[in-house]
């Protein structure tokens, strides 16, 4: 049974719910900013990457490929493949946003992330709210992460290569995704999906253009859907 909305405004609730995850997003953003400088971008280009691209894993892959002088088609294809999971997130959220205007849908599609999707889908499953309140919650979560990402990547650009290697900021990246994964595992279907996707990701890690990520996502979703029907 769905609960009623909390006393907090939906936007504030979304911001509040995503706040613990931002602790891990901040060093992730620092790494992205540093990677932009190391890839040879000037300060303006590095600053522009986050508000324009706004995609953590894809940004890191893009910077890595730029540093290797990859061709534009390879860079674009890689970013599209990595971000293709956003289509699955959007499809999962679509029933909750049915009736939303095209402008809000377009902006929501731009700011959607793994983190805002994760907290939103959990919220919508357990709390009964109106369409405006659901969108306000989603935007609270999304804008909390958007602001944190912009600030942290700008700091990364400013710091550049001055962060000592022994700080090992890259540890934050897997921790962020682990924090998103475990709350979403709530039944046997989602457990099967997670385990299957993890095994497939390891098996396909050597595929070019990060295709292993897309393949693992599809296989995991298929396995979870099949299990849920049995």
Do you know the residue count of the chain? 230
pLDDT per position as a tens digit, 72-91: 887 887 788 778 778 888 98
16-57 residue pLDDT tens: 999 998 887 888 888 888 888 877 888 888 888 888 888 877
Residue ranges of E strands in 81-205: 127-128
DSSP 12-54: HHHHHHHHHHHHHHHHHHHHHHHHHHHTT--HHHHHHHHHHH-
Rounded to two decimals, the pTM is 0.71
Q: What are the pLDDT digits (tens) for 203-226?
A: 888 877 667 767 887 788 788 878
């Amino acid at each position: 049974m769905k609960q009623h909305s909390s006393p907090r405004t939906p936007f504030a609730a979304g911001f509040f719910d995503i706040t613990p995850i931002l602790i891990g997003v901040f060093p992730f953003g620092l790494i992205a900013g540093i990677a932009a400088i190391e890839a040879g971008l000037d300060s303006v280009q590095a600053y522009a990457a986050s508000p324009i691209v706004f995609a953590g894993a894809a940004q890191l892959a893009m910077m890595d490929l730029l540093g290797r002088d990859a061709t534009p088609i390879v860079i674009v294809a890689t970013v599209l493949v990595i971000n293709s999971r956003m289509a699955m997130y959007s499809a999962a959220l679509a029933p909750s946003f049915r009736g939303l205007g095209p402008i809000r849908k377009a902006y929501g599609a731009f700011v959607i992330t793994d983190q805002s999707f994760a907290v939103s889908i959990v919220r919508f499953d357990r709390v009964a709210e109106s369409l405006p309140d659901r969108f306000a919650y989603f935007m609270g979560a999304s804008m909390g992460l958007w602001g944190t990402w912009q600030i942290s990547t700008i700091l990364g650009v400013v710091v550049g290569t001055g962060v000592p290697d022994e700080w090992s900021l890259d540890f934050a990246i897997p921790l962020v995704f682990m924090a998103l994964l475990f709350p979403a595992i709530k039944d046997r279907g989602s457990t099967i999906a997670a385990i299957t996707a993890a095994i497939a990701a390891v098996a396909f890690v050597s595929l070019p253009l990060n295709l292993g990520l897309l393949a693992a996502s599809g296989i995991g979703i298929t396995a979870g859907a099949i299990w849920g029907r049995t």
